[in-house]
Amino acid sequence: MRLFVAVPLPQEIKDSIATLRGGIPDARWIAAENAHVTLAFIGEVQAPEMSDICLALGRIKHPEFELAIESVGIFGSNKRPRILWAGVHRDKSLMLLHKKIVTAIESVGARVDDRQFRPHITLARIHKSPYERVRNYLSDHALFKTKTIPVTSFSLFSSHLSSTSAIYEEEMTFDLTPLPVA
């Protein structure tokens, strides 16, 4: 099974993200209910390895924090954009949680995708869309922003590919350490 670790998003944020759908021909839009912030992509693993990963992730100690979602952008070149995304502010606490997760997964011998971590929410996959339309979309949505959201946990997800899209299933949730009440 294919696994990844992510911050699930509250319905209110998914609803905001849903308003960004459309306006680019030939884009394959990700269903709003699948919106999340990937912290680590693991890929294919067998069941025993998944158990080891769960145990390692369960040992992570990290305080709760807030996440800011702002702007839109692309991965790929200007002439050949591949992924359209909503940006996630590179908060120091988010970046540290990412490192702890990667270290935990690698400590049990599993491998993590080694691309540079760029926190984002994937909105669509773009293949043959005219760049003019993509550029206009980016300009039209440049000021997109949601309210900050509390991150109180992260989850291990499995991903099952279907003929139309990926189906994500939350396998296990890991709580973060609550902040002291002032």
Strand pairing report for 36-44 and 149-151:
unpaired
Q: Catalytic residue, from 62, 89, 120, 141: name it.
A: 120
CB 60 within 8 A of CB 96: no
Tokens matching residue 164: 């139309």
> Which one of the listed residues 36, 62, 141, 160 is annotated catalytic?
36
Could you tell me the sign of the dihedral formed by the alpha carbons of 109, 113, 115, 116, in that order? negative
- Identity of the amino acid at 88: V
Can 160 be counted among the known catalytic residues? Answer: no
120 is known as an active-site residue: yes
Helix (H, G, I), strand (E, B) or coil at 177: strand
Q: List, by residue number, the catalytic residues.
A: 36, 120
